[in-house]
Amino acid sequence: MDIIAAISTGPALSAIGIVRVSGEGCFALCDRVFHPLSGRPFSAARPREMVLGRLLDREGASIDSCLAVRFPGPGSYTGEDCAEFHCHGSPVVLGEALAALFAAGARQAGRGEFTKRAFLNGRMDLTQAEAVIDLIESETAQAARNAVEQLGGALGRKLRTVYDALLNIASQFYAVVDYPDEDIPDLGREEILAALTRSETALTALLATASRGQVLRRGVPTAILGKPNAGKSSLLNALVGYDRAIVTDVAGTTRDTVEEKATAGGVLLRLIDTAGIRDASDPVERLGVERARLAAAEAELALLVLDGARPLTEEDREVIRIARAVPRVIAVQNKADLPRQWDPATLEAELGTVLSLSAREGQGLEALEAAIARLFPEDGTPRGEILTNARQAESLSRALASLRGARAALEDGLTPDAVLSDVERAMNALGEVTGQTLREDLTARIFERFCVGK
Ligand SMILES: Nc1nc2c(ncn2[C@@H]2O[C@H](COP(=O)(O)OP(=O)(O)OP(=O)(O)O)[C@@H](O)[C@H]2O)c(=O)[nH]1
Ligand SMILES: [Mg+2]
């Protein structure tokens, strides 16, 4: 494979920025652009040790004084000879360093190409490669911990156990398919049934984590609901930590829905601020109220905001009714900094604990965060075994359906080749997740998700 290079750190100004190179023959290429202060060529430097030197452009002028390190293959990230230049983190310096490497014969790496090479060279399976991007993109500590365990191979190991059991069954069946006069019972029909059932159980358990995985990855769709002026936009702003939505004392300020992510109680929320729900005469506001109802219909969590400084009204009753149709509801009595006009206990039979807070003053937010954390607890699934990836979940569902088909075929006494073809379909679907039977087009799509330089 040819030599690739890319800037691996972000585009912002920083103390250090890293340029990465990979490919057979890359050390000789690096010798042309990097001169160690020791006078000893970089290609002869000790592996995995930092070397101080000068990075030179094609005319031999200094670009930077930097550290370089080489990682000889096959024990490197990509499995090939690799090197990194730890430069001063100026985008200009990094751009020039990259240009010097190109001039010496490297080419720009594509998205995820380093990790793709690691996968193709057998340094990691596909679950690990995808964990790399999940780790980089993770937005909560929980998501990061799950990804790092997958990077360690937790998910891959689990799936390979299932794959191996199926391979075992398939190989027993090939014999029968080749010699059709033999009977399936000779193979240990009960044993095969048990292995199929065990595999089904393992996949079912994994797939059951997928909805939790979506919470980890995309956030809980959370509608902030309430009548006009209750303080919904103020609550959104308090949770995201800046003035995301317009707040005024005019009832009906928010018209369109406003969406923003925030973590609360360690849970990633996809917050949707909505127009205050009431019978609006203004046509624009009326459309906004429609959207609020739609957001409620699609939400997993409702943050129901009730104005504590005004008596409850018919409008509040309507909003309570809408919020209660959402799978989970947390009710808050807002404006706790003002004298309270109603007793939250009167709503507790309907709504559970009504939290008292002041969105404007930021009081009582810890209790809200704690309530959110209680609603979405870590469910004890070992880290690394939560499916966060929709593509993986889709492949595993197909594997499970085929396994069920194989078991039904066996139980109904169908011919061995009917059972075998279902088992093979299941293996193929599993292989799409581990990378054992991966199609070209799928590989391309997976690594497209990556950033350049990883
Ligand atoms: N005293 C007090 N005022 C608040 C509090 N939260 C919001 N307000 C005020 O209530 C008014 C309405 O706040 P918003 O956050 O715009 O209310 P909203 O529910 O988004 O209103 P609409 O968008 O019109 O539906 C503003 O004047 C806020 O400053 C609070 O905790 N205490
Ligand atoms: Mg608002």
pLDDT higher than threshold 90 for residue 439: no
CA distance 112 to 452: 6
Q: Using CA positions, which residue lies closest to atom 11 of ligand 1?
A: 249
> Which residue's structure tokens are 């046509």?
283
One domain, residues 441 and 392: yes
pLDDT higher than threshold 70 for residue 252: yes
Query: Per-residue pLDDT tens for 331-373?
Result: 999 999 999 999 999 999 999 999 999 999 999 999 999 999 9
One domain, residues 359 and 224: yes
pLDDT higher than threshold 90 for residue 292: yes
Find the mean pLDDT for residues 286-304: 94
CA 208 to chain centre: 17
Find the mean pLDDT for residues 194-219: 88
Ligand nearest to the CA of 364: 1
- Sign of the alpha-carbon torsion through 43, 46, 49, 53: negative
Q: Using CA positions, which residue lies closest to atom 30 of ligand 1?
A: 335
One domain, residues 268 and 194: no
One domain, residues 233 and 333: yes
Q: In what order do the strands lie in the sheet with 62-71?
A: 34-36, 51-56, 62-71, 82-89, 14-22, 4-7, 107-108
pLDDT at residue 66 in the model: 97
pLDDT at residue 17 in the model: 96
Find the mean pLDDT for residues 285-301: 93
Strands 51-56 and 34-36: antiparallel
* Single-letter amino acid code for the residue at 246: I
CATH number at residue 337: 3.40.50.300
CATH number at residue 390: 1.20.120.430
One domain, residues 322 and 222: yes
- 227 alpha carbon to ligand 2 midpoint, in Å? 9
Ligand 1 contact via 274 beta carbon (within 6 Å): no
CATH number at residue 17: 3.30.1360.120
Q: What is the 3-state secondary structure (H, E, C) of 140-168?
A: CHHHHHHHHHHHCCHHHHHHHHHHHHHHH
pLDDT at residue 448 in the model: 72
**What total of structural domains would you count in the chain?**
3
* Single-letter amino acid code for the residue at 75: G
- Whether 175 maps to a domain, the answer reads yes
- Judged by DSSP in three states, 105 sits in coil
Angle in degrees, CA 179, 182, 184, rounded to 5? 115
pLDDT higher than threshold 90 for residue 275: yes
One domain, residues 169 and 285: no
- Whether 117 maps to a domain, the answer reads no
pLDDT higher than threshold 80 for residue 176: no
- Computed over every residue of the chain, the mean pLDDT equals 90
Q: Name the pTM for this structure.
A: 0.74
Query: Per-residue pLDDT tens for 312-337?
Result: 999 999 999 999 999 999 999 999 99
One domain, residues 234 and 254: yes
One domain, residues 358 and 220: yes
pLDDT higher than threshold 70 for residue 440: no
Its domain, for residue 164, covers 131-209+385-448
pLDDT higher than threshold 60 for residue 185: no
Ligand 1 contact via 219 beta carbon (within 6 Å): no
Ligand 1 contact via 389 beta carbon (within 6 Å): no
pLDDT at residue 443 in the model: 67
Find the mean pLDDT for residues 283-304: 93
pLDDT at residue 140 in the model: 82
pLDDT at residue 321 in the model: 95
CA distance 102 to 360: 54
One domain, residues 223 and 369: yes
- 352 alpha carbon to ligand 2 midpoint, in Å? 25
Find the mean pLDDT for residues 58-85: 96
Q: What band does 223 get if pLDDT is binned at 50, 70 and 90?
A: very high
- Whether 33 maps to a domain, the answer reads yes
* Single-letter amino acid code for the residue at 270: R
